[in-house]
């Protein structure tokens, strides 16, 4: 198992990034959450089999059609307390 706390920068708000990430994570069996940050970044906690988490992070570098990702900060984290992949309240 692998868990990462992500901060995704660039044009990632108002381009359906959170909904796209929820669909990608669910398809890969990754649990966690995603939300918008007041500073314009998207924040996420992703947890699952290492290969699935790595595949999701790789996909996050491109994101949905209208996104323009300029960078992703990733740090190890504790797994989420709940199952599934959720869109939580913005920070």
Catalytic residues: 18, 36
What pLDDT tens digit does each residue of the chain (91 aa) get?
999 999 999 999 999 999 999 999 999 999 999 999 999 999 999 999 999 999 999 999 999 999 999 999 999 999 998 899 999 999 8
Find all residues with CB under 8 Å of 42, minimum gap 6, and list them.
6, 7, 8, 12, 13, 17, 18, 21, 34, 35, 36
Domains for the chain: give ranges and CATH numbers. Answer: 2-84 (3.30.70.100)
Its pTM stands at 0.95
């Amino acid at each position: 198992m692998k868990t990462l706390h992500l901060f995704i920068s660039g044009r990632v708000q108002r381009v359906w990034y959170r909904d796209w990430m929820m669909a990608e994570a669910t398809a890969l069996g990754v649990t966690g959450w995603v939300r918008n940050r007041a500073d314009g970044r998207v924040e996420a906690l992703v947890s699952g089999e290492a290969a699935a988490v790595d595949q999701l992070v790789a996909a996050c570098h491109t994101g949905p059609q209208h996104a323009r990702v300029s960078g992703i900060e990733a740090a190890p984290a504790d797994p989420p307390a709940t199952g599934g992949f959720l869109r939580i309240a913005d920070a």
